[in-house]
Structure 1
Amino acid sequence: MRTRVWGGTAAVVLGGLLVAGCGGEKDTGSDSAGKGANSVSGAYPVSVTDCMGAETTFSATPKKIVTSNASGLELLLRLGAGDRVIGTGFPPGKGTLPGALDARAQKVEVLGQTVIPKEKLLGSGADLYIDTFASMGSMGGGGMGDAPTAEEFKAAGIKHIYLKSTACAAQSKTPVTDLSAVEADITSLGAVTGTSARARELVAGMKEKVAAVRKAVGGTPENKRPTYFFFDYDAGTKQPTVTCNRQVANAVITLAGARSAFAACDGDYKQVGWENVIAKNPDWIQLGVRNRGSESANKKAFDEAEQWLKSNPATKGLKAVKEGHLLRIGSEQTTIAGVENADTVEAIAKALYPGKVG
């Protein structure tokens, strides 16, 4: 494991975010389409921690940002910091982000269709890299694939931070049953990019949406809640990969009023056998398909996932399959930190509790 400390400024802990210094913060304007960055003064230095508690400190707002995937890019666009993003990996397909966010996302340079090559990332000219994937320790200090070391990031002048609700999920001490870690990521990015006012708006919107769902379905006794299986079709069908109770999907499913079929599984992901899924015999199955880049391509992938369940001898007899309780909701908005986690809570609840959720 490589720990990293950038600067030695004393900091005050505010939840998962460390903010140092005093002085006021000014956010002028907030654009739900993510057009431009809010102007900021004061509020620095700001320090954030990685999965192991090592700090990265910012004395000013970053000017050139690279994101590891579409999730980090979307959050920056929603925060109004999209004009500072100079590149991304795992880019969003055209038309997959809502409204004006999509047009802005398509203008961001694609540094890698999947993981950004190490040399390209280090030579990008970025001063900040936002990593959705990496967990500390087991991955050698950074990201998926052949990732730069902490020393290489430092030599290139790139500060490296994480969306901790996803990157650190496997190291969580307790099951994840709410979106507080996702909200902390948004708050943290808002502080780092000087868009805290907009971050507060986004978090408030998520809380309001989830609260409405909880009010509608929260009174349902635990043993009356439908069981739910997230079928990660893209992880392979030979041996299913399930989302366990440290993964943000567990929180999304729980908040929607369902019981995750693998809520007793500690960790973020685990491979099981189809016999384990059959034994659970879930009431509902989500067709977890990753974004293919277009509406037609996504529909085709959902069709393929559904047909596989209906035709496979091991799964065609499952209750959810026989009753047609198959939800077409994308993987990313369920398993990766983002504002749309709250939308997914609402979408699942609407399907499971028709007429109760507005």
Structure 2
Amino acid sequence: MRSRTAWGTAAAVMGGLLVTGCGDGGGAGGAQGAAATASGGFPVTVTDCRGAGTTFSRPPGKIVTSNAAGLELLLRLGAGDKVIGTGFPPGPGTLPGALDARGREVKVLSRSVIPKEKLLASGADLYIDTFADMRMSGMGDAPTDEEFRAAGIKHIYLKSTACAARREHAVTDLSAVEADITALGEVTGARAKAAELVDGMKTRVRAVRKAIGDVPRDQRPTYFFFDYDAGTKQPTALCNRQVAHAVITLAGARNIFADCDTTYKQVGWEDVLSRDPDWIQLGVRNRGGRAATEKGFDEARRWLETNPATKGLKAVKEGHFLRIRSEWTTIAGVENADTVERIAHTLYPSKVG
């Protein structure tokens, strides 16, 4: 198996893990539970996956993010100047537009999971966690609630991803991601910007849904997310608790592993062959630049076209490939709505401009 990139490792941690720090994700809620009750918008209380609340009497001043997903959201909210460190840093070109250079200016506390000692000694007053509990993953020892409190660090999750595997139902919309954005906006005092981002996502998704609304669900094309960077010996199924399942569904496609009730699951190529998808997304993560990433897409396509186990697939024979980066599909963020548009435009070019 090809070694995973930082994004791939993060994705693997989120898939299928029994979360001790998050409990039951339930429903579609993200880091929701934020409620402004006083003049100026504070105090604000944000709930974790178990419903336990963390209260903020004022905006945090020093934030550490577990990976580039939380970092990007803070940059988009205009709170990037408060971020003093991150794990799983964004590579060159990972973040869109002007956010790219700003994101790479943030201090890197670790290229992967931030070591417990370094996190607790970081000086942060807030840690935004995209992951489930690391203590069961073999990727490092996470601080306990008591250790976070002793260090003066409030700990909140992006529940749309951290607690996804514990959801009771398939995720078919972006409400959890939108709720995370709203909550971070309330915590950082950026409510107006959060509302703008969420409204923009809803507008784009609504337009797609309206455009393809007359296509019967049982006639929508089937779709396979090929996680090339996760390895090819045994494919990784993207299941119905992962945010990408919502992206695929909203774009008017049918995830071939929609019957898989977790986030990710190792399957066999015979499982893909038996479901014979109409379209395949080439799941490649940013490789440090546009040219290198495009080369990764070329490699993924070539592997499918030359491997005896996959070259007979309908999508492969018809050249039905989508070159959309994994991060924009599987990691919660504003790009999820953009990816809905891109997939829908490819599948329904006469309906979605």
TM-score by length of 1: 0.88
- Which of 327, 332, 335 matches 2:330? 335
- Which of 249, 255, 280 matches 1:254? 249
- Which of 326, 331, 350 matches 1:355? 350
Cα deviations by residue, 1:223-281 (Å, 9 ceiling, x for unpaired):
21000001111221111111111110110000000000011111111111110000000
- Which of 55, 73, 76 matches 2:74? 76
User: In the alignment, what sits opposite 1:184?
Assistant: 179
* Gapped regions of structure 2 (runs ≥ 5): 1-19, 24-28
* Cα displacement (A) at 1:14: 12
* Gapped regions of structure 1 (runs ≥ 5): 5-12, 24-41
| 8 Å CA contact 1:134, 1:143 repeated in 2 | no
TM-score by length of 2: 0.89
* Cα displacement (A) at 1:111: 1.1
Secondary structure of residue in 1 paired with 2:294: helix
Query: Structure 1's 52 and 14: CA in aligned 2 closer, same or farther, altered over 3 A?
Result: closer
* Cα displacement (A) at 1:337: 0.7
**Structure 1 residue runs of 4+, over 4 Å off?**
139-144
| 8 Å CA contact 2:71, 2:80 repeated in 1 | yes
Distance 2:231 2:194 in 1: 36
Task: Give the stretch that moved more between structures: 277-286 or 101-110.
Answer: 101-110
Bigger fraction of residues in helix: 2
User: In the alignment, what sits opposite 1:17?
Assistant: 33
Distance 2:350 2:109 in 1: 45
Distance 2:312 2:149 in 1: 54
Distance 1:95 1:3 in 2: 31
Secondary structure of residue in 2 paired with 1:57: strand
Task: Give the stretch that moved more between structures: 173-182 or 289-298.
Answer: 289-298
- Which of 298, 314, 324 matches 2:293? 298
User: In the alignment, what sits opposite 2:284?
Assistant: 289
Distance 1:355 1:226 in 2: 15
Query: Structure 1's 96 and 216: CA in aligned 2 closer, same or farther, altered over 3 A?
Result: same
Say if 2:328 is the partner of 1:312. Answer: no
User: In the alignment, what sits opposite 1:37?
Assistant: none
Amino acid of the structure 2 residue aligned with 1:338 = G
Amino acid of the structure 1 residue aligned with 2:34 = L
- Which of 100, 113, 116 matches 1:115? 113
Pairs within 5 Å for 1:104-183: 104-135=102-133, 139-140=134-135, 145-183=140-178
User: In the alignment, what sits opposite 2:47?
Assistant: 49
Distance 2:216 2:30 in 1: 35
User: In the alignment, what sits opposite 1:101?
Assistant: 99
Secondary structure of residue in 1 paired with 2:119: helix
* Cα displacement (A) at 1:59: 1.0
User: In the alignment, what sits opposite 2:321?
Assistant: 326
* Cα displacement (A) at 1:131: 0.8
Secondary structure of residue in 2 paired with 1:92: coil
Q: CA RMSD in A?
A: 2.0
Distance 2:348 2:341 in 1: 10
* Cα displacement (A) at 1:76: 0.4
The number of equivalent residue pairs is 329
Task: Give the stretch that moved more between structures: 142-151 or 122-131.
Answer: 142-151
| 8 Å CA contact 1:132, 1:167 repeated in 2 | yes
Distance 1:330 1:288 in 2: 6
* Cα displacement (A) at 1:122: 1.4
Secondary structure of residue in 2 paired with 1:220: coil
Distance 2:274 2:145 in 1: 44
* Cα displacement (A) at 1:314: 0.4
If asked which structure has higher relative contact order (CA below 8 Å, sep 6+), I would say: 2
Cα deviations by residue, 1:51-89 (Å, 9 ceiling, x for unpaired):
222221111100001111111111001001011011111
* Cα displacement (A) at 1:15: 9.3
| 8 Å CA contact 2:32, 2:182 repeated in 1 | no
Query: Structure 1's 354 and 251: CA in aligned 2 closer, same or farther, altered over 3 A?
Result: same
User: In the alignment, what sits opposite 2:212?
Assistant: 217
Query: Structure 1's 16 and 142: CA in aligned 2 closer, same or farther, altered over 3 A?
Result: farther
